Amino acid sequence: MEHSTYQKLMIAAADLLRQKGYAATGISDILAQANVTRGSLYHHFPGGKSDLAVAAARYSCSQLVKHIETACEVARTNGGDFHDAMVELCKRVYQLFEEHGNWRFLTVSATLQEGGERNAFFSNEARALYARLKSKAVEEGATFGLSERDSFMALRKALLLVEGGWMLARVVDDPMPIRSSIQFMEEEKQVYRYRKQLGLSCPPFDTEIDPLF
Partner DNA sequence: ACAGCGCTAGACCATTCGGTCTAAACCACT
Partner DNA sequence: AGTGGTTTAGACCGAATGGTCTAGCGCTGT
Among DNA, its own copies, none, what does residue 156 contact (CB within 5–8 Å per kind)? its own copies
Distance, CA of 133 to CA of 55 (rounded, Å)? 16
Q: Kindly tell me the sign of the dihedral angle through the C-alpha atoms of 46, 125, 82, 87.
A: positive
Pick from 7, 33, 42, 67: which binds DNA (CB under 7 A)? Answer: 42
Q: Which stretch binds its own copies (CB under 8 A): 61-69, 75-83, 112-120, 138-146?
A: 112-120
- Given a contact cutoff of 8 angstroms between Cβ atoms, the answer to whether 138 and 151 are in contact is yes
**Footprint of DNA on 148-167 (CB under 7 A):** none
Q: What are the backbone angles phi and psi of residue 199, rounded to the nearest 5°? A: 65, 30
Q: Answer yes or no whether residue 127 interacts with DNA by CB under 7 A.
A: no
Q: Which of 5, 33, 113, 180 binds DNA (CB under 7 A)?
A: 5
| Among positions 2, 79, 101, 197, the unique one binding its own copies when judged by CB under 8 A | 197
Output the smallest distance, CB 183 to its own copies, in A: 5
Task: Tell me the angle at which helices 148-172 and 176-197 cross, rounded to the nearest 10 degrees.
Answer: 150
Looking at 109, 134, 136, 138, which residue binds its own copies (CB under 8 A)?
109
Q: How many residues bind DNA (CB under 7 A)?
A: 17
Alpha helices, H only, 100-173:
108-112, 119-143, 148-172
Cβ 44 to its own copies shortest distance, Å: 24
Among 24, 47, 73, 100, binds its own copies (CB under 8 A): 24
Ranges within 11-40 binding DNA (CB under 7 A):
25-29, 36-40
**Do the Cβ atoms of 52 and 17 come closer than 8 Å?**
no
Nearer to its own copies, 72 or 178 (CB): 178
In this structure, are residues 37 and 8 in contact, taking their beta carbons and an 8 Å threshold? no
Out of 3, 43, 66, 149, which residue is the one contacting DNA (CB under 7 A)? 43
State how far the Cα of 11 lies from the Cα of 25, in Å rounded to an integer. Answer: 13
Cα distance from N-terminal residue to C-terminal residue, the chain: 39
